[in-house]
Chain A
Amino acid sequence: MEDLARTIADEAKARGAAFADVRILHRRSESIMVQDGRADKLSAYTDRGIGVRVLVGRCWGFASADSLERSRAEKCVDDALALARASEAFVSDPAMVAAVEPVEAEDFREAEIPSAAMPVKEKIARCLEYEHAGRAAGGQAIVNSIVSYADGSREEILANTAGTVVRTAVSRAVASCMMVASDGKTLQRGLEHRGIVGGAELLRQTEPEAFGEQAAKKALALLAAKPAPAGRFTVIFHPSITGLLVHEALGHNAEADAVWAGQSILEGRLGETLAAPGVSIYDDSTLPGEFGSYAYDSEGAASRRRTIIDNGQLVGFLHSLETAAKFKTDPTGSGRAESYDCRPIVRMSNTFMGRGTVPIDEMIRGVDRGIYLMDGHWGYVFVQKGQFICHAGQARMIERGRLGEPLRDVSISSMTLDTLKKIDAVGDDFEMKMPGMCGKEGQTAPTDCGGPHVRVGDVVVGGHNIE
């Protein structure tokens, strides 16, 4: 397969491409869904194919096929060249690629327990244990429970006309648990997620008490919680919400393709102080076992740690080969493609805020009236406007320096640059447990995010009643 990738890249060059890269990808996964005591949906997915990207004159062309037959690969070259040539006259911003030293490398990350090494029956039994633990903790209040588990592998061969050939293989595993509780008046959900670079060892590492039981406890706690008040509050972010902040609010804005396209609020601000002192934010795809980690990106650039904000100052962006050329800097190994039929685009990996110095108790003591946001669920961002939205599954009121009544279902909306400057305390703790699939331009990429607790003044909370 490596020969096919090299040959096709060479062929594209011989036929006029200034640069070309060829990716051959094979992905396999299996998943289990346990619901209400039964593992009644088991699934398996396999895909395999080739993607050919060419740079002709000023424009990119990209074509893919779900076959590794030589004739189909050659057709991809034909199509990619034709696509680029048909578009070239209408380019306003010429495409380019950073000149980098060619790399010949391979990285095969064997899972501790590969998917096939653990029988499906054993995986099902473990999922049922999680569900049972949740049901036991929640008792009659639990009306629906879902535990899902999936593991899979991704093998990728990348060859380009600069002479780079990289072969990688990586496995990932994810598990999630949802417990739905009812008190006869309302329904509430408790969610737990885990994800690693690895395999079925995730099921050995994840204890039922810390997973199924925890999800049930969250659901029960929410039954007793009140809707959040609406208005402006000082808020304390749990590390899961800090993770959403650094991923959604800052991370997407720091993707250099958005910056170059004039779609990011960080355009032209490199070197400026954009966050409060003590705030440092990183993206690091080298962290062992973390869900967003990988050895080489889909363009053959090595993984690394990237500093985005250093003690409040914007110091760098995430780069692909193309954005590195345009910004006249080095690629950061951030060009990721979901599958063979996708172009690499600039993506995050594991994005987090560095640890600070303030203990959480001290942080809470300093708030007269505010909200402690926990259990980060989801978020999204409008990079063009610099606005982000985060949703917390759980929250607590803070009254006169103490945690007060539980709240449910709270979202916040804020402007990225305002929020980063309004951080007045960074916690001395750290947690990164937000594995998920980040979406961008129709592609998904495995990422994680986290950080310490942080405190932010004057944030808009979307609650039910103004107090």
Chain B
Amino acid sequence: MLGKRRPQKERASKAVKAQSISIHSNLSAALPAFLRKENLHDRETGDAVGSLVTLLSNYREEGRRLFPEVFFFNDIANTLQTLPNSEQVVIGTGPKTSATLDVAMKRCAPLAQWGWSIYVMRTRTQFEYGLIRCGLTALSLTAFELLIEEGDESLPAIGIRHISQHEIEVSGACKNRLRIHFGRVRRSDDDPVLIGARFCRSIVTRVPSEVREQVHNFYRRILGGVLKSGHGCLAIVLRSRPGERRLPSKFRDGVVIEPPIDISKKVATLLKGNNCESDVRLRATAALIRGMLSSDGITVFGSDGSVRAYNVFIKNPIRATGNAPGSGGARHRAYASLCSWVGYDIDSAFFLSQDGQAEFLGS
């Protein structure tokens, strides 16, 4: 059966060839169906989006990690009309290839901050790219919220954004979502954004109903920033006890903020006055809270949306929980202790590891 034997040389080369696995190829397989469901499919767009996601997975300029938010849509004029108080800066155009998007990122990514996002508009033969922003104050709904989360199939759009250091989400106006992990693979119910949103809901339980939605969005955006920062965090919401204003003694080993930072009041002031001063104050407070969440220790919130303390350390976390020592890092062990207090001293506890794994326990 000589005819069925392969040549010796070919067999040798097969033996040394390594198996090539690419996240990009997995992505390329999933994208066409996704884009079809989002009414944005063509071969060039599929290739370009796949290549862009890979590029964004660890995008750096001058050594600095960047997390730009990128939109794809068909019609810039109609899209901007649906975004009140919006602005657009056109940066360039090019053929519908991934090379054009490489150039677009190079030119736009360093600018896509302070509310600016990158847009890519598809025409029949070209990509036009640039930057867009919308909104008036720190409370205004963002382009992502309007175009994607509250999007409508009559206005096709997809948004690409980091949800943590190692995770990118591609989502569309028709409510389809792809989560691409560049770190360890997680279960779909581990979505750190959703877990973060549950914690934010816990923070606003006792916020007056007139401003609850806005305070919730305020914290959700702060947490979104923390998720991308690559710094872990630990936070709790205190259980409210009528007449008790003092922080419980077990949470006093840290920086106690007296008087607490009253976010509800700041939000209400901005809504009432809609002036620049209140907006600047609220944005500045957001920066403070983000810093607190990125500090070591526990950040303590009240269920009225206030910030009570940060950089708080609890004693003997391992003994307190009875957990076996060595299971997880110090932050995770502290979280385990906090979980045992949920329903007693605290309403909820939130944990975020450095690699973007989030956990939440609420009463």
Please determine whether chains A and B interact with each other in the same assembly. no
